[in-house]
Amino acid sequence: MDFKRLLLALSLSFIFIFVWQTIFVPQPLPESQSIDEVEKSESNQPNPEIDFNSEARSKNNMPLVDVNDKLNITTDLLSLGFVNGGSSLSNIKIIENDVSAQNEFKHVGSWDRSLGAYTDAPVALMNDQGCNPCLIENGEFVVFDSDYIYQYNDQTSTHTITSISSSGLEKTTILNDTSYVIDHIFSSLNVTKKYDLIWGGGLEPSERSIQEDLTWLSVFAEKDKTYSEETISEEGEVFAYSNVGWAGIKTKYFIKAITNQKHAANKTEKVYFESTKSSIASDDNYFLYPDMRFDYGVGNESLYVYSYIGPIDTKHLSDSKTDHLVQLFGFGWFIIGYLAKLILWLLTSLYVFIPNYGIICILFAFIIRLFTGPLTKQSFLSNQKMQQVQPKMKKIQAKYKDDQAKLSQATMELYKKEGVNPLGGCLPILVQMPLLIALFQVFRKTIEFRGAEFLPFWITDLSQPDIILQLPFMANIPGLGYFFGNGLALLPIIMGVIMFLSMQMTATASPDPSAKFAMYFMNGFFILLFNTFPSGLNLYYTVYNILNFLQQRQLKKLQS
């Protein structure tokens, strides 16, 4: 295989492997950042003091409360249902009535378990899922009286619910019309008794493909500014973290996060996660619902925590109470993280002037080409020089085929004489990799693309593939179905054709069979890989590759 084609194949392979390891595989924490005590157990009884299979609990591991005794509150962002004397959440839907919202459709679309189907209703994060939180005193659920006190302050747009139990325990719930944060304050506790808080039912799936949410489903916890995350893959998994400051559950676009107030004296002794399985549309179409249990131990006069149950949206997470949750977006490490934040800022800023994220994706391709174009030119010219010295290289290889030392020396002298850098075609690609990976991170995960339309007759949701032909049987083929999904998308095909033309244009006149195979294989592989990617990401890459092809063709003309 000639050197030019080898570099090209290796570069494409490097891009795939690097992106795969960076984006898809969970990153292990360095030893210096490990949580002091992280326990994983397959036991279904993480705490003998609390019966997770008691008949007194619902299927979502919550106490059976009177759902008819419900307090409903609507804010600018949420529609909420409270039960257990107004002390606990059982229902949450995102409505976000803010007229200044950049994309009014990003919180639309959700699974309805009663219908077993995806609907265009507002996103339901919790749907009759017991009570969140449930206070447990010495292993017994605390029931609050139905005579709760509800107050609304017009000046501060604040809702306050005060609930009292028969034993005198008090729960105060505070929420604001313009925030996803809810304060939960338990007071008048008995310091001699052990207290736990349970947040049950996990999060409801929100995407058209339940498998997509299952892929992203994870639990997370933090201790002393060290963040750890574990994916949830099967029913009955139990994770335990000691002395955490905040923890929660995450799907692709939404989170349920619980934080101990920074000024509160109490710290959780341990937080447990246990997942249960529930059918959505059929026995084979299911979702996993991790419960959270915070163990506070004894000696507490009060518990003061707050929850954030809403979108992974930096606009809301940047609040002083939730800025520690911004990292849940997964920007990446070091330079990639800084670039990803810059890209997301530019993406949302451009929307103010261009209210179409599809057009912005195309514009991004032009912007990125302004930076990578000179590098592409340098790589192209370097590869052209390498091709020009190939005849001389073959003579040297034939002359010194039995003397490796002289072969290396003669090769370096040839490179120096001809002004050729053997890494000149590869280094420009590696230099631009952090920028391309950062953009990949943002375009693949930003909630701004959810429900965003590009063209009404083609791409109506930039967070989903632009399927032009439904092939549901493909999803059932082991291995292939995971990558291919259940339909054929148009943009990956266009991108694959452009990549093929680019490689063919820069290939030598008579490539050997192995080089031809590498070219066809890499094109087919990338078409398959990108078939399930969001159309917003694929739209960017397609336009980017078209611009790259046009630049290479122009350089080819100038060379000839």
Residues 14-28 have pLDDT tens digits of 454 444 333 333 333
Percent of the chain scoring above 70 in pLDDT:
80
Residue 131 pLDDT greater than 50, yes or no: yes
Out of 159-163, 380-384, 422-426, 441-445, least confident range: 422-426
Residue 245 pLDDT greater than 60, yes or no: yes
* Cβ 120 vs Cβ 62: under 8 Å: no
Residue 280 pLDDT greater than 60, yes or no: yes
Average pLDDT across the chain, whole number = 80
pLDDT, position 249? 96
Which residues lie below 8 Å from residue 334, measured CB to CB, with a gap of 6+?
none
pLDDT band of residue 259 (cuts 50, 70, 90) is very high
In 3D, which of 494, 495, 518 has the Cα closest to residue 507? Answer: 518
- SS3 assignment, position 145: coil
Bridge partners of 185? 172, 304
pLDDT, position 467? 92
pLDDT, position 282? 67
How do the domains of the chain map onto residue ranges?
A: 3-22+337-382+430-559, 28-332
Q: What is the gyration radius of the CA atoms in the chain, in angstroms?
A: 28
213: amino acid identity, one letter: D
**DSSP characters over 413-465:** HHHHHHT--TTTTTHHHHHHHHHHHHHHHHHHH-GGGTT--S-TTS-S-TTS-
Give the containing element (helix H, strand E) for 164: strand 158-164
Question: Which CATH number is correct for 28-332, 2.70.98.90, 3.40.1190.10, 2.130.10.10, 2.30.42.10?
Answer: 2.70.98.90
Whole-prediction pTM: 0.81
